[in-house]
Structure formats: C-alpha cells, structure tokens
Amino acid sequence: MNNEDKAQRHKARQQKVKEKVDAKVAAAQEVKGLLLVITGNGKGKSTSGFGTIARAVGHGLNCAVAQFIKGTWENGERNLLEKLGVEFQTMATGFTWETQNKEADTLAAQIIWKECQRMLADESIDVILFDELTYMVSYGYVELDEVVEALNNRPPMQSVIITGRGAHRTLIEMADTVSEVKNVKHAFESGVKALKGVDW
C-alpha cells in the first residue's frame, strides 16, 4: 500500500471514530450532579479528586473537602484551596494506618461525618471531595447506610468525589463514574522517600 492509500485509510478510520463519538455526545442529554469513586492500589486517587476540585474552583464553583485521614499531616492542596475559599474539614485526631483505638477513631470519624452530612444537604455547594472516605466505611467508623442515604438525598446538581482503596461494592454500584487506579510501580517500593509537592 502506498503512502497516499495509507493516509486515505487513516482518514476513513478517523471519520468513523468521529461519527461514533459525535453520536454518543448527541445521545448524552441528561444533566445532573455526579457521584465519582476513585479507588484502587495505585497512586493518583487523591490527586485526581483534588484535580477535579481545582477544575471546579477554576469555573467559579463552590467546593468543599473532607479528609478522613492524615489530619495532622501538612498538605499542599489545603494550603492552596483554602486561600481560594474552599471549606476543609479534616479528622481531628490525625487517624493513621497504625491506630489501634477504635473508639477514639470512631468518635473522630463521626465528628467529621456530621460536617459531611451538612455539606450534602447544602445546595450552595457544587462539588465535594470526600478524600479517603472508603476506609471509614470498611472499618465501620461511619455507617454505610448513612452514607448511602445522605448521597441519595443530596441536591440533584451537586457532585461528590469519593477516594480511597477498597471502595465498598455498594458505593461502586451507586456511583456514576468509577475509576480504579492500578499500581504498576511506586518509588516508595524502591526506598524513595515521599516527596513534598508530589506525594503530599
């Protein structure tokens, strides 16, 4: 096949792709707030959630963030987004992977979950990030039923992003968009320290 034929073939193929995409775009007519779940073992869940918040803030939308882990860690996103008027709620005790005190953790989780319920009832908030919420549900610190109810009753145009490993099946089922970030490799596994500005 000569180059001209190749170019012709490529053009025809692209035209077909375009037609398919155009048809899908035309078919997508529903407008509603979305529920996104970003899960999996690879790096990129929280950064994806925060990227969406940055995107929404850039459009002048009203956003809020609740972080269920790393309460005492410094975090670049908070430094930036709070300056731009994004409400932040973090778990007071700085829950970590090592915590052994279930009672104290449940209490701390419940305090921030109350703030989340308030956010989910607030029509003026367009996009909410619940960073690492999945663990609260898996550990039973926050009742799955309460999460489902609050999400189902939220304002119709409000979008919610939930991040964290091991998202509960129910959350995956009710979400509109679910992405699983796969770990291919991570610097930490070869002994590299978490880096400011990249890892936190």
23 binds, among Mg ion, ligand ATP, none (CB under 5 to 8 A by kind): none
Q: What is the DSSP string of 69-122?
A: S-TTS--HHHHHHHHTT-EEEE-TT---TT---HHHHHHHHHHHHHHHHHHHT-
Q: Is 46 in the site for ligand ATP (CB under 6 A)?
A: yes
Q: Which of 33, 34, 44, 106 binds ligand ATP (CB under 6 A)?
A: 44
Point out which residues bind Mg ion (CB under 5 A): 45-46
Rounded Cα gap, residues 17 and 115, in angstroms: 45
Q: Is 73 in the site for ligand ATP (CB under 6 A)?
A: no
Q: Is 101 in the site for ligand ATP (CB under 6 A)?
A: no
Least distance between ligand ATP and beta carbon 174 (Å): 21
* Residue in 110, 72, 114 with CA at minimum distance from that of residue 90: 72
**Counts for the chain of helices (H) and strands (E), in that order:** 7, 6
Q: Is 53 in the site for ligand ATP (CB under 6 A)?
A: no
Site residues, ligand ATP (CB under 6 A): 41-47, 163, 165, 181, 183, 186, 188-189, 194, 199-200
